[in-house]
Amino acid sequence: MRELAVQFLALADKQRATGPLMMGQSPHGLSLLHTGDIVNGRAHLDRAITFYDPAEHRPLATRFGQDIGAATLSWKSLGFWLLGYPEAALADSEHALKVAREIGHSATLMYVLNFSAWTHIHCGNYAAARRSSMSLAP
């Protein structure tokens, strides 16, 4: 997984366009996060967000299943929690929800609501997790 993510990022770097760079940084960050290199994984997820341009990248949600910006914020939230920063995790989770609701793309909203519920569970806020998992309304 990590090897493929490195190759994908190398291809994205050659293109020098924000879309491929964002799409290269995000899976690289995810592969690091999932294999225990949380600090570097978070750094790549942070870089992915710096390339995110809502006007350019939101239309890609229908191609990839969810908005990459909202999805990356959700993964950043998990990274913050794993590093021991629950308040930052909740802030990224709320930011992802805001982005998902602005877009109005139901698959993105469902994706982010799932992460939001897990973030609240990890932080011990079970009532908020329940609300997050049961409500599509703001």
Residues 75/49, Cβ–Cβ less than 8 Å: no
Query: What pLDDT is stored for residue 11 in this prediction?
Result: 86
Cα-based torsion angle of the residue sequence 108, 21, 95, 58 in order, rounded to the nearest 10 degrees: -40
- Residue range 26-48: average pLDDT? 94
Query: What pLDDT is stored for residue 137 in this prediction?
Result: 56
Percent of the chain with pLDDT over 70: 97
The DSSP code for 31 is H
HEC-encoded secondary structure of 9-60: HHHHHHHCCHHHHHHHHHHHHHHHHHCCCHHHHHHHHHHHHHHCCHHHHHHH
Q: What pTM was computed for the model?
A: 0.86
Query: What pLDDT is stored for residue 65 in this prediction?
Result: 87
d(CA 42, CA 75): 8
Task: Read off the pLDDT of residues 102-111 as tens digits, 9 standing for 90 and up.
Answer: 988 999 999 9
Query: What pLDDT is stored for residue 6 in this prediction?
Result: 84
d(CA 54, CA 10): 23
Please indicate whether residue 22 or residue 77 has the higher confidence score (pLDDT).
Answer: 77
Q: Closest by alpha carbon to 76, among 106, 53, 50?
A: 50
Average pLDDT for the chain: 89
Task: Read off the pLDDT of residues 39-69 as tens digits, 9 standing for 90 and up.
Answer: 999 999 999 999 999 888 888 888 888 999 9
The DSSP code for 104 is T
